[in-house]
Amino acid sequence: MSSSKQFAKDVAKELAKRQRRRKWFTLTAVAGLIALAVIYLRCGHGWGIGSGDGEGSGTGTARSVVSSGDAGPKRCAIRVTAAGISVDGKSMKKDEAVAACRATAGADVVVTGDARQGDWDDLRAALEAAHVEVFVRGS
């Protein structure tokens, strides 16, 4: 009789283990589904894996729109090279460059390696005298 009692205990233990495994599996699956639902609702409808072909059904063109509120204040772009000074791609003299940048929030200046140091020194002094904020980058 003792062997049948032991057998019954072993069967009961095994059934309890199976029940615990099913319970943990079910809870893990539910938690995973909840996490996926939250990610889907929070991140939108696409998963960002680039599976689209880029062909939409809309009639618009592929141009991006940037509002002036997002872009920040306009700054002029000055490039100082051996050939001279250019502002926003247009060749200008020092005084014209200062006048063009005075109307903006400041100047982003790129000084190339072949630029004459005296040209840059004169331009910087003129911009500072006109109270134009300058950000300099080397090229």
Q: What is the pLDDT of residues 12-45, one digit of tens each?
A: 999 999 999 999 999 999 999 999 888 888 776 6
Per-residue confidence (pLDDT) for residue 25, from 0 to 100: 96
Residue 60 belongs to a domain: no
Residue 129 belongs to a domain: yes
35 and 80 co-located in one domain: no
Residue 54 belongs to a domain: no
Residue 8 belongs to a domain: yes
40 and 80 co-located in one domain: no
Per-residue confidence (pLDDT) for residue 62, from 0 to 100: 61
Residue 53 belongs to a domain: no
DSSP symbol at 88: T
Residue 22 belongs to a domain: yes
79 and 32 co-located in one domain: no
Rounded Cα distance between 47 and 126, Å, is 52
Please check whether residue 65 is in contact with residue 72, taking contact to mean a CB–CB distance below 8 angstroms. no
82 and 37 co-located in one domain: no
Q: What is the mean pLDDT of residues 68-88?
A: 82
Q: What is the mean pLDDT of residues 131-137?
A: 86
Instruction: For 36-80, give the DSSP string.
Output: HHHHHHHH-S--SS----S--SS---S-----HHHH-S--EEEEE
Residue 86 belongs to a domain: yes
**Total structural domains within the chain:** 2
| Domain ranges, residue 77 | 73-138
Residue 104 belongs to a domain: yes
Is the whole-model pTM more than 0.75?
no
